[in-house]
Amino acid sequence: MTQTSDNVTWLTQEAYNQLKAELEYLSGPARTEIAAKIAAAREEGDLRENGGYHAAKEEQGKQELRVRQLTQLLEHAKVGEAPAESGVVAPGMVVTIAFDGDEDDTLTFLLASREYASSDIETYSPQSPLGSGVNGKKVGEDAEYELPNGKKASVRILDAKPYQG
């Protein structure tokens, strides 16, 4: 999982390997595939009205942006261990909170970089209002964070366990 501070991103070895493999694929085989798509579309003729060409160029732009993001992330990455099960909220942990202390109104989420967002569990960044509010708190403690409308909200930390991915 990740923890970002001063442009350093902490990654588990598994996460680092996964991101490095994605970068290698995008920098190699994927670049070749998109270049072939662009070349094939270019051969179809007039580029002004060639939807396949424009779609391939847009895909290429998105792919190159992802390559730059991954390159920067991995350049500043430090590989370390997943957090210990200490009962203290930290990046890389699955956190369960109760809104306004109401144990019936709960939310369970992964506190991590958006690189780990998945359909399995909702992910909040440590830099998000909720993420920064709960980060460093212990199970049983209350945390406060600012809502988009400027008001404060209170939550109680019910559980914090290392993400098992």
Q: What pLDDT does residue 3 have?
A: 44
Interior angle at CA 81, CA 76 and CA 85, nearest 5? 135
Rounded to the nearest 5°, which phi and psi values hold at 159?
-160, 150
Q: What pLDDT does residue 123 have?
A: 85
- What are the structure tokens assigned to 64, written together? 């190159």
- Give the largest CA-CA distance in the chain: 66
Q: Are strands 123-124 and 142-146 parallel, antiparallel or unpaired?
A: unpaired
Q: What pLDDT does residue 91 have?
A: 81
Low-confidence ranges of the chain (pLDDT < 70): 1-12, 80-85, 101, 114-119, 164-165
Q: Where does the chain hold its CATH 3.10.50.30 domain(s)?
A: 93-162
Instruction: Give 129-163 as a DSSP string.
Output: HHHHHHTTPBTT-EEEEE-TTS-EEEEEEEEEEE-
Q: Where does the chain hold its CATH 1.10.287.180 domain(s)?
A: 4-79
pLDDT tens digit string along 105-138?
A: 899 998 887 666 566 778 888 888 998 899 989 9
Q: Alpha-carbon torsion 23, 25, 30, 32, what sign?
A: positive
Domain 93-162 has CATH 3.10.580.10: no
Q: Domain 4-79: which topology?
A: Helix Hairpins (1.10.287)
